[in-house]
Structure 1
Amino acid sequence: MGWFSGIVVFLLVWWLTLFAVLPIGTRPNPERDAESGWRGVPEAPRLLRKVVITTLVTTIIWFGFYALIESDWFSFRSGWLAMPEK
């Protein structure tokens, strides 16, 4: 995996992981709006903490992708997934 494709994979996994982590631990505002009943944003979203958790989880997932791509275990160049030679 080249450096550019590694960064692209990291950013894609980071965004997907962020959207998975965002709802964890959030509680809606207990006071509703009198007219619409809308509770608005969560009381304490703790975004910095979620960004750090997202980055740590993404790093672990990215290293898994890197190991899988760089190994010969899952390869389209050789093995049973390879194209037949002419």
Structure 2
Amino acid sequence: MSIRDLEILAGSVRRRKFTRVDKEAIVSETLNGDTSVSDVARRHEIDRSLVYRWRREFGVVENAGAPSGICSGQGGDSGFPGRLYGSIAALSN
């Protein structure tokens, strides 16, 4: 590649804002065990590290590579959303 082939992109980069409901939906997709976090991130056109960050924020814990639930129950001090906890509980049944 030469300097002539170099294209400089100027301007602002698109930065999307996700609501808490959007984040819950994306994180809950990763909990079914059929798809990987990378697949879910690719489908939503976001970086997988963002999905992992949201999972930590919602208290999703890993056990030998498989999600096993949340850290601190149904809400309380952690601020974990009840709707997401309900979807996690439904998956474990």
Q: TM-score, normalised by structure 2?
A: 0.24
Q: TM-score, normalised by structure 1?
A: 0.25
- Relative contact order, higher structure (CA 8 A, sep 6+): 1
Structure with bigger strand share is 2
